[in-house]
Structure 1
């Protein structure tokens, strides 16, 4: 199968924001204090009571605090990747949905369920990929290539999704792009260049890439990962495809958060080096308590933090924020028309595809072999 070289384009925000700011310092400054002891127990019990009284459900991403993940599961909510979060919110009967994650996840829930009230613990919890894909600049980029199918990653604003033909998550991106390639479509991709390059090399699709990156996954270091692997020669290396190519090339398994968890639970290795946000380790340890999990390095030995892979915006989700949603109706998400309706099509198209092709989803790639197609 022939491969088309992916071409990054000129819109590049090295600091992840079209205004030239990362906002990460502000994000870390807003991380809520970790509750403990009787205070934490009291807040959790109050949240449980209010979830029932308010006809609300709590859905949490794998990257948020472990206490929030546990609370979601204990109250009939859900802990998942962004694809399954979208499905859950759409199908759940609750009138109110609390989304513990980052803003694009809350927006997606509102787009799919306009009749529900959607709340988030902190509305300022965003994403570097979202910040780095400005709506107006993306429109200019898209206008240059009217013959291409527009595929955007879930980590984008509602306004960017409103310009897309397809939304994808890391669980279904390979399968959907592969299908588009089979249909002879040329693709315009945004915003993560690492994930776009990975998909392009796996499928051989003709793709033009926006030049964005996740501030967490972009920091993994191949040289340090090789050193860690030498110290743990029998460990399997699990890598999220938002990571740089040199890191992906070292992986035993490349996949979405769901696929990585599945690889640990079903794998036969005793040790796993995990190259994604460290929040996922909480759920991995619960589901595979006998496996040893090692955080992949994001810095060299001289750094104060050898592995600091945690999203500052995901860290802004706290138990007190959830309580505020329920007690004070704070953090409500709104998506104005016609943006909501325009964005709905690309999301529903993804959900329809994944519902009809469940066998193609969340299957990790073993090793890095170009042009093998969707797995």
Structure 2
């Protein structure tokens, strides 16, 4: 099993070589009256412009609620894009980070896709520049190129497959069964987890999510002692020793499902704390506890909340609607190439529901054994 890591000095949005110092513009706080007025104005513009709002689980709760109230959707990145593709609206407002807007545009090239702030990005995306990734792929032509959804359209255009955390394990298992070697990018933690679960020969790009990378096993163990009956839910972008402590390892959707359908009363949640809003709505009688990061030693300034997701604000949504700002534009050749790896993933998930369900069930080990 090849555990070689491709070392790349990742960059943050300011151009520095340390993503630990990722910055973000904080939306202005609104009074109760201002918030109400802004929400009403957004509802009016959405209806007037035949637009729909889709939001990620990690954005502000007010935005999530607004998406549901106006006939939109709150979901993970792929479901956001698929919903937008199938919705009759000709304009999509994407509250999330840039790669999510790009995915929506790739699947709906004929629609206008707007975002509240185009500077809202992702450390995984920033840490995998397309030019360097192209060289990496060219150096290993014998490998199937598999990229995570948290990448740019240009990186997806170079890939054979795009995957999400919901289907990555199943697709890697499938490729391994076919005897194929994998070039994986960009999250090293998710790549290592899939590699360990499937036994696949994977060459890993050295990237990480600045939020999930800050969860620490020693802090989690201490918290578990205080809540011995709590189940631990961990996103697979987290470090290895954190994943090892989990009762359930899975995507945002899988973690929400675990809380809603689980019989436990308490849950320790190791992912972006924005997800707690939806969890509390769907499981109001259960206790949700934020998993600890490294406390004062943490390099990430987000405190278990993505600083770029936090850039999405109500005023920003209204501004992009009234000024038609923040439009996602992708070169047609890149969009066409990127669409192939996404459509390939969608076809696989449609054709292999049993394998997908098995892999999604808490990311149980040794999925190929049964």
TM-score exceeds 0.5? yes
What are structure 2's unaligned runs of at least 5 residues?
A: none
Q: Residue 351 of structure 1: CA displacement? A: 1.4
2:8 to 7, 11, 30: 11
Query: Equivalent residue of 1:274, what SS?
Result: strand
Match of 1:160, SS? helix
Match of 1:316 among 300, 311, 335: 311
Task: Give the counterpart of 2:190 among 183, 192, 195.
Answer: 195
Name 1:150's counterpart in structure 2. Answer: 145
Q: Is 1:113 aligned to residue 108 of structure 2?
A: yes
> Cα distance 1:121–1:205, how it changes in 2: closer, same or farther (>3 A)?
same
* TM-score of the aligned structures, taking structure 2 as reference length: 0.94
Q: 1:144: Cα distance to partner?
A: 1.1
Greater displacement, 275-284 / 78-87: 78-87
Deviation at 1:139, TM superposition (A): 0.8
Alpha-carbon distance between aligned partners in 1 of 2:281 and 2:60, rounded to the nearest angstrom: 14
Match of 1:250 among 234, 245, 252: 245
CA deviation map 1:194-234 (0-9, x unaligned)? 00000111111111100000000000010000000000000
CA distance in 2, matches of 1:333, 1:244: 32
CA distance 1:266–1:275, change in 2 (3 Å): same
Normalising by structure 1, we get a TM-score of 0.93
User: Which of 355, 365, 372 is 2:362 aligned to?
Assistant: 365
Q: How many correspondences in the alignment?
A: 368
- Is the CA contact (8 Å cut-off) linking 2:210 and 2:300 kept in structure 1? no
Work out the CA distance in 1 between the residues paired with 2:7 and 2:15.
Answer: 13
Mapped to 1, the partners of 2:232 and 2:310 lie a distance apart of 25
Cα distance, 1:363 vs. partner?
Answer: 2.3
Which of the numbers 69, 72, 78 marks the counterpart of 1:74? 69
Measured at CA, do residues 11 and 303 of structure 1 come closer, stay the same or move farther in structure 2, by a change above 3 Å? closer
| Alignment-derived partner of residue 335 in structure 1 | 330
In structure 2, do the counterparts of structure 1 residues 92 and 308 end up closer, same or farther at CA, with 3 Å as the change threshold?
A: same
Match of 1:132 in 2: 127
Further displaced range: 294-303 or 338-347: 294-303
Q: How far apart are residue 14 of structure 1 and its match? A: 7.9
1:26 matched to 2:23? yes
Q: 1:219 to 1:353 in 2, by over 3 A?
A: same
**Shift in CA distance, 314/331, structure 1 to aligned 2, threshold 3 Å:** same
2:79 — aligned with what? 84
Match of 1:50 in 2: 45
State the shift of 1:301 in Å.
Answer: 6.9
How large is the RMSD of aligned CA atoms in angstroms? 2.3
* Deviation string, structure 1 residues 3-31 (Cα, Å, up to 9, x no partner): x243212334386998515385531xx11
Shift >6 Å, 4+ stretches: 14-18, 301-307
Aligned counterpart, 1:175:
170
Aligned with 1:202: secondary structure? helix
Partner of 1:299: 294
